[in-house]
Structure 1
Amino acid sequence: MAKRNNDNRPIEEILKEFVKTNNLESGLDKVNVREAWANLMGNGVNNYTTAIELKHETLYVQLSSSVLREELSYGNEKIVKMLNESIGKDVVKKLVLR
């Protein structure tokens, strides 16, 4: 019978270790980016957002309004910075608005 490990550790530490050993970070980053976009952009932009996809540090956002797409393209770098700050690490390097 295996011995029980009585090493008390915080659940946060255990979950981080589990995510790292099972290579789940990229999937969690995709979910975190979607949530950060929804929180930062608000209802006005979210109503016109049809798809959000993170591929290789590039965030692809599909918008149904060409006017909104053009307006957001002016603040491209600021949006990337705000998303990364919201997530807590540099996940997004480039933003592509479609």
Structure 2
Amino acid sequence: MARRNDENISISEVLKDFIKANKLQSGIDKIEVRDAWKNLMGNGVNNYTADIQLKQSTLYVNLTSAVLREELSYGKEKIIKMINEELGKEIVKDLILR
């Protein structure tokens, strides 16, 4: 990151270098996955969502409704695909509903 030339460097490139140098990408991924869940699932599901955690490549979602948990379990693969498409990269490989 310690590049000091006469060339102009974009802010996005500097931020990418900073994130990479300080190993912040996993934390940013966790926040982006939470936001993607909230955007994709809407208010109906978010009202019953207690907690969202990303550990490694597994997304853990705590739900307060057993009925909703059962309904969402039928579409796990679709949910994973939608989240990864929203993020533009494959972060989530498994989804565990609790």
TM-score by length of 2: 0.94
CA distance in 1, matches of 2:97, 2:78: 14
Partner of residue 46, structure 2: 46
1:25-68 residue CA offsets vs partner (Å, 9 max, x unmatched): 00000000000000000000000000000001000000000000
**Which one-letter code corresponds to 1:42 in the other structure?**
G
**Which one-letter code corresponds to 1:6 in the other structure?**
D
Partner of residue 84, structure 2: 84
Shift of 1:91: 0.5
CA distance in 2, matches of 1:7, 1:21: 21
Q: Report the more deviating stretch, 28-37 or 8-17.
A: 8-17
- Percent sequence identity is 65
Partner of residue 27, structure 1: 27
**Which one-letter code corresponds to 1:90 in the other structure?**
E
Shift of 1:5: 3.6
CA distance in 1, matches of 2:75, 2:40: 13
Shift of 1:22: 0.7
Q: Report the more deviating stretch, 30-39 or 13-22.
A: 13-22
Aligned-residue Cα RMSD (Å) equals 0.9
Partner of residue 7, structure 2: 7
**Which one-letter code corresponds to 1:46 in the other structure?**
N
CA distance in 2, matches of 1:50, 1:6: 50
